Amino acid sequence: MMGKSTVRDVNLKNKKALVRVDFNVPLDKEGLVTDDRRIQAALPTIKFILDQQPRKVILMSHLGRPKGITESLRLTPVGDRLQELLKEKVLKLDDCIGEKVKRAIETSSQRVVLLENLRFHKEEEKNDPAFAKSLASLADIYVNDAFSSAHRAHASTVGIAQFLPAVAGLSLEKEINYLGKALENPRKPFVVILGGAKVSDKIMMIENLLPKADSFLIGGGMAYTFLKAEGRKIGTSLCENDKIAVAKSLLEKAAKAQVPIALSSDFVVVTKFDSSTDMKIVPEIPDGWMGVDIGPKTRRHFQEILSKAKTIIWNGPLGVFENDDFAHGTREIAEYIAGLRDVTTIIGGGDSAAAIAKFHLEEKMTHISTGGGASLEFLEGKELPGIAALQDRNS
């Protein structure tokens, strides 16, 4: 894994391991966890460490964006859910640093400890060295298993690595292996599917992947900026007018590199974003209408390109998939990919992962990234601070 040490490389017997996990999960009004996929993603690392007979596994995470101590953002319901999934008692503490925390860890009989929300302390996001040092003083070794926070230079992702031996967890290792291999040495043809609302979010990713990809398929809201750049009519569809020139230059770069960029040739359109009463399929978007999904002809064209692919990276839905009437494009492409054989399929976090979950296709994909922003930055070719901070193998 890109030369970084992992939990497999260190001796954890009788050691206290401090593990940065991503338990930033949605809670309902009753404070119950409504989606535990991120908790489940951390289980292999937690179980792996427990199998090594450590003294303690101390887990830390942020939850939401609290301003100071916020009762509704305590990690207590997360601890409850973790306990159910792990089938082992979890000691949940009311803070993440300090003598009281240290004492509780030392004296408790539980092997698994969950610290309170890191962001209750403003020093976490400031990457404050004293705060990082306080966290580090709780343990002998630091394990980062939170890929989705690896693009942030916070105390619990970067600062702490100054004070403890720092290694990657299994989930982080898996992310870097899949995304890294896709970038470094993809099996060809390599097809990139891009969607979501904004071109601006994907510019650097397109530029980084242009020399590596064999073709791009572009749908979602960002497609209309490209279509407008080609001089096509887009009605009242979403468009970043200040990015039309950028879209035009990306299309020119791709043409020069002989990498086809496939855009929609037909559209599902409506007059009002939140209503499907007047929905129709058109080859060109009329004035007063907006595109909300790729049409059936485009879906067939995309499938034709995907049928030859050996590596597929997908980042961003192809329509307004939250509304079932506008989810057909995203669903049909997802189902088509799920049925392909001998293909590496990588779903790049955020809304794409939510769409795959909505259609119950998670098991059919090679890898679903847990990190929205982190996977985007990784695919843009950036070095993520949380990964850079880990110790290199053989160092």
The dihedrals phi and psi of 346, each to the nearest 5 degrees, come to -120, 120
Indicate the angle between helix axes 37-51 and 76-86, nearest 10 degrees. 60
- Answer for the pair 317, 355: CB distance below 8 angstroms, yes or no: yes
Cα separations in angstroms, 286 against 270, 271, 292: 10, 10, 13
Cβ neighbours of 191 (radius 10 Å): 26
Tell me the DSSP string of 303-365: HHHHTT-SEEEEES-SS-TTSGGG-HHHHHHHHHHHT-SS-EEEE-SHHHHHHHHHTT-GGGS
CA atoms within 13 A on the CB side of 277: 3
Phi, psi of 69 (to 5 degrees): -70, 125
CB 61 within 8 A of CB 20: yes
Sign of the dihedral through C-alpha 382, 388, 394, 395: positive
* Annotated catalytic residue 38: yes
Distances (CA, A) of 267 to 226, 245, 282, 298, 392: 14, 23, 5, 8, 49
Catalytic option among 20, 38, 81, 228: 38
Is 381 one of the catalytic residues?
Answer: no
Q: What is the CA radius of gyration of the chain?
A: 23
Whether 350 sits among the annotated catalytic residues: the reply is yes
| From 31, 98, 180, 373, the catalytic residue | 373
CA distances from 8 to 41, 48, 239, 254, 262 (A): 17, 9, 48, 42, 43
Which of 159, 316, 350, 372 is catalytic? The answer is: 350
User: Which one of 55, 133, 181, 198 is the catalytic residue?
Assistant: 198
| Residue 6 vs residues 126, 179, 224, 261: alpha-carbon distances, Å | 26, 17, 43, 38
| Dihedral over Cα of 235, 236, 238, 239: its sign | positive
User: What whole-number distance in Å separates Cα of residue 135 and Cα of residue 130?
Assistant: 9
Catalytic residues: 38, 198, 350, 373
